Structure 1
Amino acid sequence: MTRTPAPSLPTRRRLLTGVSGLAGLAGLAVMSTGLVRAASAEPTLLAQADLRGGHDGDLAGLLPDVVDDQSRRLQQAIDDAAREGRILRLPAGDYYFSNLTLPDGARLAGVPGATRLIYTGRGHGLLAEGGERVALDGLVIDGANQRLGEHVRGLVQLRNVGNLTLRDVQIAGSAKYGLALEGCGGTVEQCDLSGAAEAGLYAVESRTLTIRDNHVHDCGNGGILVHRWSKGFDGTLISGNRIARIAATNGGTGPFGNGINLFRAGGVIINGNHVSDCAFSAIRANSADNCQIIGNQALHSGETAIYSEFEFSGAVIANNLIDGGTMGISVANFDRGGRLSVISGNLVRNLSTSGPYVPKNSGFGIGIAVEADASVSGNTIEGAPKWGVMAGWGPYLRDVALTGNMIRHCGAGIAVSVVEGAGATLVQGNIFSHTPQGAVIGTRWNETVTGDLARQGAEAFAHLTVRNNVAG
């Protein structure tokens, strides 16, 4: 049963008829000053008739809260508004739809939290293919977990849009990604993305994209993904987002289940985000050059909290707070060319030796791990059951400086590779407290092969300098 629609707003015809009448009275202005003043109201009424740039949904025949699919009327209203350079404003209520296309210049606005577009599951939700501008504001877009066609990745799919704006939009219940952006620039801000079977937001080949102040939560395989088809500069800014409860329903050992994930995307800044309860990493950067990960909170991660891995060159990981995880920060894969990093001012605590899979290589319970061309300074590490810092893995160690760190209540303080071929390593000016297996130990891969090198024996290894440390 349909709901009887409320009386509609005055139509343009009525408004313009009133304006025309006033214009006729203006012709008598030579006889009456009052009528001249009445005629002067014409510009104001014309502005009202034009709805100040708006294009109300009810004027297009759209009715909220009816059970019928309104895709045809919605599409016509979207096309008309875009052609006329206007905003299509939708009143509060539910609108059932499928297969809507957003042309260049499409701008849709609703009542935040109350204007709901509900996908009925026949093809795609909202799709834009090219154009300079598309804007969505104040809408709830509900995928209802309905099937999406093979031609789209997300419930809302925008391709090659030069300047998109999504503000205060809720996207929920997508059978794939919530929001999928390909080759786009612009801003996604203050949106709520939840319940996606894959990730809340997937962006690939972006151009000057900003992702800020969003809430991304309860998704099946990822939170915010910024990828490129091939390795190169991306430049996306990811700031101030709250990301929580990200699962890894596809399994694996790290490609899924991350709050923020970069893949091949260089020049990305990740700062000021609050990321919690992810199956794997809070922040994971794979083959991402010149990435900055600064001032984030990473809580209750299922595996390594912050990762920079594989073929990367250049990473700054600074001033992050990490509480929980199997490893705090890992900067790895010198064997694949991963190198050049600064890890400073981070607080890492409360790590675990129990993770989401049977560990290999170094295992779990390590505060910070580095391999090549790295400065590790001014960090505070507490509660790493195995090692506070791991420097190198077998021969994969080169030019690492470990200075001015506070390491306490860890199994051992710093574990340094002493395998043949390991490169220059400086351990200086660190403070160790309650490290029962030693402040500085030498390792061959996963095996401890020396005593406490902070006390004696470091001179036996030409690549290793240990001095001026304080061990409690």
Structure 2
Amino acid sequence: MTLYQKSLDNLLVVTQSSSSPGTGWSAVSNLQTAINNARSSAKPLQLLPGVYLTSQILVDTASGGGNRLELFAEQGTVTVRLSAAAPYLLNVNNVPDVVVRGINFDGSNQTINGSGIAGLIRFDGSSTTDFIFSECNVSNSMATGVVAVNNARGRIADNRISNCGIGIFAIDSQVFIENNGLSTLNDNGICVWTSTVGGNGSVVSGNTVNWVDNASGGTGQYGNGILVYRAGNVKISENNVFNTKFSAIRLNAANNGHVVNNYCWNMREVAIFIEAPGAGENLSGGIISGNNIDTAGLGISVANSGLYGDGIADRCVVSNNNIINITNNAIPYPDGSTSLTTGRGITVETNTIVTNNVISLTAGAAIGLGVNDAAKDIMATGNLINNCPMGIAYSTNNSASSILVSSNIVRGYRDISNVSDPNYPISGAIVSYSFDGSSFQRDKNGGSPNTDYGNATQTSSGPLTVGMNRANP
């Protein structure tokens, strides 16, 4: 099959045929040449229906007169397929205002051997501004489906991405990632990263992410629906995330992130994980609100307090979330060991408010306030807890301080007074607990149960101030 192009008044059209389609059509050597011709003539390029086999395509300032590219097809009628191993299928390098829409890009599982964050489709460079990649299908990439790197800025929207290592990866780039459908991904769904901790301002909204594996292993680096690392001021809203090996949404050292109004179902580990992973990689100012979480190993975790080489996650608000069906799940690690999730609904450590959440059917505590000495300035108010064996558990470690529990309703908890009962460690309405290195367990008072403050009048005990709660087993 030979490629032919035809120049119209305001459009360049390309098709492929065994012979000339007729008057005005001229043969062109390959798709790269056709794209260069369209750019040089400052015309949009339309691909007519068919499957176009091609090697790598580069859009840069040294070709096509340095002009922008508009490449499009009638949606679902054109496939551009990579014919051999290459650094990429399409790379836009420092060319502004590029528009690509309506095309199926098939990596045909060829090796993608580009440097850095390798991807089938790449938008690269600080002059790659205002790009739009929309209404396309991207599939069968041994690396990432769509990549934006090196301060590229644009929009990735209304696409379908499947059978890739990672679906979409934006690093050191501000991207609006909206209304995409991603499925069957080896390592992660959508990643927004920056090289250092700082502001970014990307938006991840309205996407559906389904079936994310962690083929590359790790302890949480892979297996996530949406992963934000170091990038601050990122808004994650109205996404549907299903069937992930680790988290639906994971923020590491990502300041001022908004995680709002997402639906998360069937996560093996923590559904929404807000974490300061290491010294110097803190997280501050997160808002986690209005999310619906069903079936996970832990609902929402705001983790780390600057102890043991960790960073500090603080100034967070966890509010108005609906959490149900949280279980103890075994997580296998690369060294052959396994870790069991705690089955808690919400767990926080430092300078965080937990308010107005609805939590039901957890295997562990509905709400955990602090972890031993990592417990400072925490509030749990106005939460509704149903049919959880343990309602609100808090740390009474000597280093714990300023924990307020007020105006909560706890119904259907385990009311156990015999410390020898095997269910005692996970019981009580509002009780203290400790982490023994492998599990969280309700504290004891010698051979007797510790005090349950579920129906206590306003009082203070150690770090705890409690009152105005209602508890019914």
TM over 0.5: yes
Report how many residues are paired: 420
Higher helix share: 1
The yes-or-no answer on 1:306 pairing with 2:272 is yes
- Give the Å deviation of 1:178: 0.7
Secondary structure of 2:318's counterpart equals strand
- Give the Å deviation of 1:125: 1.1
Q: Which residue of 2 aligns with 1:148?
A: 112
Q: 1:291 aligned to 236, 254, 257, which one?
A: 257
- Give the Å deviation of 1:64: 9.0
The answer (yes or no) to whether the contact 2:58–2:91 under 8 Å persists in 1 is yes
Q: Which residue of 1 aligns with 2:81?
A: 118
Can you list the C-alpha shifts for 1:386-417, whole angstroms capped at 9, x where unaligned? 10001001111111110000011112001100
Distance 1:470 1:72 in 2: 77
What amino acid does structure 1 have at the position aligned with 2:30? R
Can you list the C-alpha shifts for 1:316-337, whole angstroms capped at 9, x where unaligned? 0001000010000001111221
- Give the Å deviation of 1:204: 0.3
Q: Which residue of 1 aligns with 2:195?
A: 229
Deviates more, 1:331-340 or 1:297-306: 331-340
The answer (yes or no) to whether the contact 1:442–1:453 under 8 Å persists in 2 is no
Matches within 5 A, 1:278-357: 278-310=244-276, 311-335=282-306, 336-357=311-332
Distance 2:18 2:142 in 1: 25
Matches within 5 A, 1:44-443: 49-50=8-9, 53-58=10-15, 62-63=16-17, 72-103=29-60, 104-123=67-86, 124-151=88-115, 153-160=118-125, 161-182=128-149, 183-196=151-164, 198-207=165-174, 209-310=175-276, 311-335=282-306, 336-357=311-332, 363-436=341-414, 437-443=427-433
Secondary structure of 2:32's counterpart equals helix
Q: Which residue of 1 aligns with 2:465?
A: 465
Gap change, CA 1:92 and 1:421, over 3 Å in 2:
same
Larger radius of gyration: 1
Gap change, CA 1:109 and 1:330, over 3 Å in 2:
same
Gap change, CA 1:353 and 1:373, over 3 Å in 2:
same
Secondary structure of 1:174's counterpart equals strand
Distance 1:64 1:313 in 2: 61
The answer (yes or no) to whether the contact 2:303–2:313 under 8 Å persists in 1 is yes
Gap change, CA 1:213 and 1:363, over 3 Å in 2:
closer
Show structure 2 runs of 5+ residues with no match. Answer: 20-26, 61-66, 277-281, 415-426, 444-449
The answer (yes or no) to whether the contact 1:417–1:442 under 8 Å persists in 2 is yes
Can you list the C-alpha shifts for 1:191-222, whole angstroms capped at 9, x where unaligned? 001100x2111110113x21101001101001
Matches within 5 A, 1:18-37: none
Distance 1:464 1:398 in 2: 10
Q: Which residue of 1 aligns with 2:421?
A: none
Can you list the C-alpha shifts for 1:27-72, whole angstroms capped at 9, x where unaligned? xxxxxxxxxxxxxxxxxxxxxx40xx211014xxx4499xxxx995
The answer (yes or no) to whether the contact 1:458–1:464 under 8 Å persists in 2 is no
Gap change, CA 1:463 and 1:359, over 3 Å in 2:
farther
Can you list the C-alpha shifts for 1:351-398, whole angstroms capped at 9, x where unaligned? 1112323665x9421000011111111100001111000100111111
Distance 1:64 1:379 in 2: 65
The answer (yes or no) to whether the contact 2:183–2:211 under 8 Å persists in 1 is yes
Identity %: 27
- Give the Å deviation of 1:91: 0.4
The answer (yes or no) to whether the contact 2:456–2:469 under 8 Å persists in 1 is no
Distance 2:51 2:460 in 1: 74
Show structure 1 runs of 5+ residues with no match. Answer: 13-48
Q: Which residue of 1 aligns with 2:446?
A: none
Distance 2:265 2:42 in 1: 45
Distance 1:254 1:247 in 2: 11
What amino acid does structure 1 have at the position aligned with 2:272? I
Distance 1:100 1:275 in 2: 33
What amino acid does structure 2 have at the position aligned with 1:312? L
- Give the Å deviation of 1:146: 0.5
The answer (yes or no) to whether the contact 1:121–1:148 under 8 Å persists in 2 is no
The answer (yes or no) to whether the contact 2:360–2:385 under 8 Å persists in 1 is yes
Higher strand share: 2
Q: Which residue of 2 aligns with 1:448?
A: 442
Secondary structure of 1:280's counterpart equals coil
* RMSD (Å), alpha carbons: 2.2
The answer (yes or no) to whether the contact 1:71–1:96 under 8 Å persists in 2 is no
- Give the Å deviation of 1:131: 1.7
Gap change, CA 1:186 and 1:74, over 3 Å in 2:
same
Can you list the C-alpha shifts for 1:129-150, whole angstroms capped at 9, x where unaligned? 2121221110000001011123
The answer (yes or no) to whether the contact 2:386–2:412 under 8 Å persists in 1 is yes
- Give the Å deviation of 1:454: 2.5
Secondary structure of 2:373's counterpart equals coil
Can you list the C-alpha shifts for 1:267-316, whole angstroms capped at 9, x where unaligned? 00000011101111110001000000000000111110001101201100
